[in-house]
C-alpha cells in the first residue's frame, strides 16, 4: 500500500510537467521511501544521494546508503552485507519514469541511470513554460541586510563585496519565490554626526538658509575629525550635538539630513551603475525602538551595570565570553543596540522568518552574539527563525596587501568602476570587436564585461576567503571568468541567429520538434541542464554562490563538448546552409536560457553580440 501511494505521489504524467524539478530531491524522496519501508526499525537511516562523477559506468547518481545502514544493523546485532542492504533497498524502491536502470556495484553502491524520455519532458518545459524555478513548499519571508555603508565615511571595496554578494543572494531567493525585503542598514546615526554637525555650524553658520557645499564629504569628515581630536571645547559641542540630534531637535535633524543626502547620492550612483535595488533603512530608523527595548530589557533584568555601561550577556560571563554593550556610560546607544532593536523589528513587525546579514568576516563575533542574545531575550525562536551571517574575507590588492591606491588611500568605488569600463573596452578592442560591432553594441558589451567581471570575480570565490582584486585576472578569457562565459553565451546565441531563426521562430520550432538528446554528448549536456534546480536549492541552503559559478562553467564546458562533436547546421563548400538539425538548435537555445537565468541570479547582463 505504502508503495502504491508512493508511486502515485512520485509519478506525475509527463505531460503535466511545468518545470524542471530537482532530480536530486526526487531521488532523496524515492530512496527515502525505500529505505524506510525496507528498514522500518532504523528511522534514522541516512539517505545519501550523490552525483556519480565522470565515469558513465557508474550511472548519473549514486545512492550510498547501504554501507552506513549495514553498520547500523551490525551495531544492533544483525549482520547484513552492504550488497544485500542495497538489494533490499532496491526491492522497496517505488518505480518512477525518471529511472532508466539501477545496478548494485562494489560493496553496495547503487548506480542510478536517468531515463532520457523523462529528461526530455523536463527539459521541454523550458520552451513551454520558461526556465521555471523548482517549486518550494514553504517560501518564508526573508530579509537580506546588505551593502550597508556608513554615511560620511567612504563606501569601500568591503561594502562593494557586501553589495554584490547580498544582491545575488536576494536575486536567488526571489527567483525561488521567497518574499524578500532587501535592506540597506546604513550607518547614519553614530557619534560621528555630533562632530559633523558641530563642524557644519562652525563652517557654514547659514546652513539653514543655504545648502552648504560639502560634496566632498570625506574631506569634510577629516576636517571635523581634526577639530574633534584637538579641540576640547569643540569635542564638548560635538557631544552635545549628538544628544540634540537623538532627541530630534529640528535644526540638528535638518543638518543631519543634509549630510546624509550627500552620501546617499554617492551611494546611489554605485547602485544605479551596478543595477542594485535596495531599500534604505539605517540605524536612525531604530532610535525609538532602541529606547523602548532598552527600557524593556532593563525592567526584565537582562542588563548588567558595568562601570557605568549597561551590558547584555549572551552566555554566562567568564571563559572568554563577551557581552553586548547596550547603553554606553554617557547614555548613548551603540551598534549593538541598533542591531538588537533591528532584529526585533524585523521579526516582530516585518514577520521575517529568515534574516541574512552580509558583512566582512570581521563582524562574525558581533553577529554570533546578536543571534544568541536575541534568542535569550525571547525575540528569536531557532525552530521558527533562521539567521545567517554571511561573512566575507577582505579584498586584497595585487601586492596581497589591503586594497589601496598607490598613495595609500582607500580606492573610491566610482574610480574602480571607471577603471573597469576602461579595461573592458581595451579588452574588446584587443579582440577587434570595435570593428564588428555598432557603437551601441560595443558600449553594451563594455558595460556588460566591466561590471560583470567585477561581480563575477567576487562571486566565484568562496566568500569566506580573502580575495585578490585584479583586473588582469578578471578579464582573462580562459577559465571560469565572466569574460569567458559571456563570450560562450554570445557564441551559443549566434547559432540560431546564423540559421536565421528569431526568438519567435525558435518557439514555433519547439512546437514541432523536440530537443535532441540521442547523441552521447547531447544527453550529457542535457543532464547538466537538468541539474539547474538542485544547484539552486543547495545554494539556498548554504548560500555558497560560487557553486552557481562552477555550475555555469560546467554548462558552458558541456556545451563546448557537444558543439565540437555535433553539427547544428551543415553548410556546403560555398557556405550555404544545406541541413538544419532542429533538435540541436533547440538544445543550444535551452542551454542559453539556463545560462541566462544563472547570469540573472549572479547579477550579470549578458549581451547577444560581443
Alpha helix positions (H), 11-108? 23-38, 66-75, 82-91
Residue 374, burial from CB neighbour count under 10 angstroms (0-12, 13-18, 19+) = buried
CB-wise, 68 or 187, nearer to ligand ARG? 187
CB of 286 to ligand ARG, least distance (A): 10
Phi and psi of 467, rounded to 5°?
Answer: -145, 150
DSSP letters for 269-338: HHHHHHT---EE--GGGGHHHHHHHHHHHHHTT--EEETTEEEE-SS-S-TT---EEEE-TTS---HHHH
Binding mask 142-181 for ligand ARG (x = CB under 6 A): ---x--xxx-------------------------------
Nearer to ligand ARG, 281 or 423 (CB): 281
Question: Residues 354, 381: contact at Cβ < 8 Å?
Answer: no
> Shortest Cβ distance from residue 182 to ligand ARG (Å)?
12
Task: For the segment 327-356, give every residue that binds ligand ARG (CB under 6 A).
Answer: 339, 342
- C-alpha 225 chain-centroid distance: 37
Report the nearest approach of ligand ARG to the CB of residue 149 (Å). 6
* CB nearer ligand ARG, residue 33 or residue 337: 337
Q: Tell me which of 227, 359, 556, 591 binds ligand ARG, using CB under 6 A.
A: 359
Asked if 287 interacts with ligand ARG (CB under 6 A), we say: no
Residue of 254, 252, 234 whose CA lies nearest to 243? 252
Closest distance to ligand ARG from the beta carbon of 157 (Å): 12
Q: Write the CB contacts of 590 (distance below 8 Å, at least 6 apart in sequence).
A: 123, 126, 127, 515, 529
Least distance in Å: CB of 125 to ligand ARG? 39
Tell me the pairing of strands 49-51 and 61-63: antiparallel
Minimum Å gap between C-beta 186 and ligand ARG is: 7
Contact in structure between 66 and 83 (CB atoms under 8 Å): yes
CA–centroid distance for 409 within its chain = 29
Q: Are 342 and 148 in contact (CB under 8 A)?
A: no
Minimum CB separation of residue 185 from ligand ARG in Å reads 4
Nearer to ligand ARG, 161 or 185 (CB): 185
Residue of 185, 281, 310, 389 interacting with ligand ARG (CB under 6 A)? 185
Q: What is the DSSP string of 530-593?
A: HTHHHHHHHHHHH--THHHHHHHHHHHHHHHHHHHH--SEEE-TTS-EEEE-HHHHHHHHHHHH
Least separation in angstroms between residue 370's CB and ligand ARG is 8
185 versus 289: smaller Cβ distance to ligand ARG: 185
| Nearer residue to ligand ARG within complex by CB, 33 or 359 | 359
| Contact (CB, 8 A) for 141 and 352 | yes
Determine the interface stretch with ligand ARG among 115-123, 141-149, 237-245, 377-385 (rule: CB under 6 A).
141-149
357 touches ligand ARG by CB under 6 A: yes
**Nearest to ligand ARG of 94, 149 (CB atom):** 149
CB nearest ligand ARG: which residue? 148
Assess contact for 165 and 196: CB atoms under 8 A. Answer: no
Q: In angstroms, what is the minimal distance from the CB of 363 to ligand ARG?
A: 6
Output 241 or 338, the one with its CB closest to ligand ARG.
338
Query: Least distance from C-beta 609 to ligand ARG, angstroms?
Result: 39
Which residue in 501, 479, 499 sits closest to 488, CA to CA? 479
Q: Using CB under 6 A, count the residues that bind ligand ARG.
A: 10
Verify binding: residue 188, ligand ARG, rule CB under 6 A: no
Q: Is 187 in the site for ligand ARG (CB under 6 A)?
A: yes
Q: Which residues bind ligand ARG (CB under 6 A)?
A: 145, 148-150, 185, 187, 339, 342, 357, 359
Amino acid at each position: 500500500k505504502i508503495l502504491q501511494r508512493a508511486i502515485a505521489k512520485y509519478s506525475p504524467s509527463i505531460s503535466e510537467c511545468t518545470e524542471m524539478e530537482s532530480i536530486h530531491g526526487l531521488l532523496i524522496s524515492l530512496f527515502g521511501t525505500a529505505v524506510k519501508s525496507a528498514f522500518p526499525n532504523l528511522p534514522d537511516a541516512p539517505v545519501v544521494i550523490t552525483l556519480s562523477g565522470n565515469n558513465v559506468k557508474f550511472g548519473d547518481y549514486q545512492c550510498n546508503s547501504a554501507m552506513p545502514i549495514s553498520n547500523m544493523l551490525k551495531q544492533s546485532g544483525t549482520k547484513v552485507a552492504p550488497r544485500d542492504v542495497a538489494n533490499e533497498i532496491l526491492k522497496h524502491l517505488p518505480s518512477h519514469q525518471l529511472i532508466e536502470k539501477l545496478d548494485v556495484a562494489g560493496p553496495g553502491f547503487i548506480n542510478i541511470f536517468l531515463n532520457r524520455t523523462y529528461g526530455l519532458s523536463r527539459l521541454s518545459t523550458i520552451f513551454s513554460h520558461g526556465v521555471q524555478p523548482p517549486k518550494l513548499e514553504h517560501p518564508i519571508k526573508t530579509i537580506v541586510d546588505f551593502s550597508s555603508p556608513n554615511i560620511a565615511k567612504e563606501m569601500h571595496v568591503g561594502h562593494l563585496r557586501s553589495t554584490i554578494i547580498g544582491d545575488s543572494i536576494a536575486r536567488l531567493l526571489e527567483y525561488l519565490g521567497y518574499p524578500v525585503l532587501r535592506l540597506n542598514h546604513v550607518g547614519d546615526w553614530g557619534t560621528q554626526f555630533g562632530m559633523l554637525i558641530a563642524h557644519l555650524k562652525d563652517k557654514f553658520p547659514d546652513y539653514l538658509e543655504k545648502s552648504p557645499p560639502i560634496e566632498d564629504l570625506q574631506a569634510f569628515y577629516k576636517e571635523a575629525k581634526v577639530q574633534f581630536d584637538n579641540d576640547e571645547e569643540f569635542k564638548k559641542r560635538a557631544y552635545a550635538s549628538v544628544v540634540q540630534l537623538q532627541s530630534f531637535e529640528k535644526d540638528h535633524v535638518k543638518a543631519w539630513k543634509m549630510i546624509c543626502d550627500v552620501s546617499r547620492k554617492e551611494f546611489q550612483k554605485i547602485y544605479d551603475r551596478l543595477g542594485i535595488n535596495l531599500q534604505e533603512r539605517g540605524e536612525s530608523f531604530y532610535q525609538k525602538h532602541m529606547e523602548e527595548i532598552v527600557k524593556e530589557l532593563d525592567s526584565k533584568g537582562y542588563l548588567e551595570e558595568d562601570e557605568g555601561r549597561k551590558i547584555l550577556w549572551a552566555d554566562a560571563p567568564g571563559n572568554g565570553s563577551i557581552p553586548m554593550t547596550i547603553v554606553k556610560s554617557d547614555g548613548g546607544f551603540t551598534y549593538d543596540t541598533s542591531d538588537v532593536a533591528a532584529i526585533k523589528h524585523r521579526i516582530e513587525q516585518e514577520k521575517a522568518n529568515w534574516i541574512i546579514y552580509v558583512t566582512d568576516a570581521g563582524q562574525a563575533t558581533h553577529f554570533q552574539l546578536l543571534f544568541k542574545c536575541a534568542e535569550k531575550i525571547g525575540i528569536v525562536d531557532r525552530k521558527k527563525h533562521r539567521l545567517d551571517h554571511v561573512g566575507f574575507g577582505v579584498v586584497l590588492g595585487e601586492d596581497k596587501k589591503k586594497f589601496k591606491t598607490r598613495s595609500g588611500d582607500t580606492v573610491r568605488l566610482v574610480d574602480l568602476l571607471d577603471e573597469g569600463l576602461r579595461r573592458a573596452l581595451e579588452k574588446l578592442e584587443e579582440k577587434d570587436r570595435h570593428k564588428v560591432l555598432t557603437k551601441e553594441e560595443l558600449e553594451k558589451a563594455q558595460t556588460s564585461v566591466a561590471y560583470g567581471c567585477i561581480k563575477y570575480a567576487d562571486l566565484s570565490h568562496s566568500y569566506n576567503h580573502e580575495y585578490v582584486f585584479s583586473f588582469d585576472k578578471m578579464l582573462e578569457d580562459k577559465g571560469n571568468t565572466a569574460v569567458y562565459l559571456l563570450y560562450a553565451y554570445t557564441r551559443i546565441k549566434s547559432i540560431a541567429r546564423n540559421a536565421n531563426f528569431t526568438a519567435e521562430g525558435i518557439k514555433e520550432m519547439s512546437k514541432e520538434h523536440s530537443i535532441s538528446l540521442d547523441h552521447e554528448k547531447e544527453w550529457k549536456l542535457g543532464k547538466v541542464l537538468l541539474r539547474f534546480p538542485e544547484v539552486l536549492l543547495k545554494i539556498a541552503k548554504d548560500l555558497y554562490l560560487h557553486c552557481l559559478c562552477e555550475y555555469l562553467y560546467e554548462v558552458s564546458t558541456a556545451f563546448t563538448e557537444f558543439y565540437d562533436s555535433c553539427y547544428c547546421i551543415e553548410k556546403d563548400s560555398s557556405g550555404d546552409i544545406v541541413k538544419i538539425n532542429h533538435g540541436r538548435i533547440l538544445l543550444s537555445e535551452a542551454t542559453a536560457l539556463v545560462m541566462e537565468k544563472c547570469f540573472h541570479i549572479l547579477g550579470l547582463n549578458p549581451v547577444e553580440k560581443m
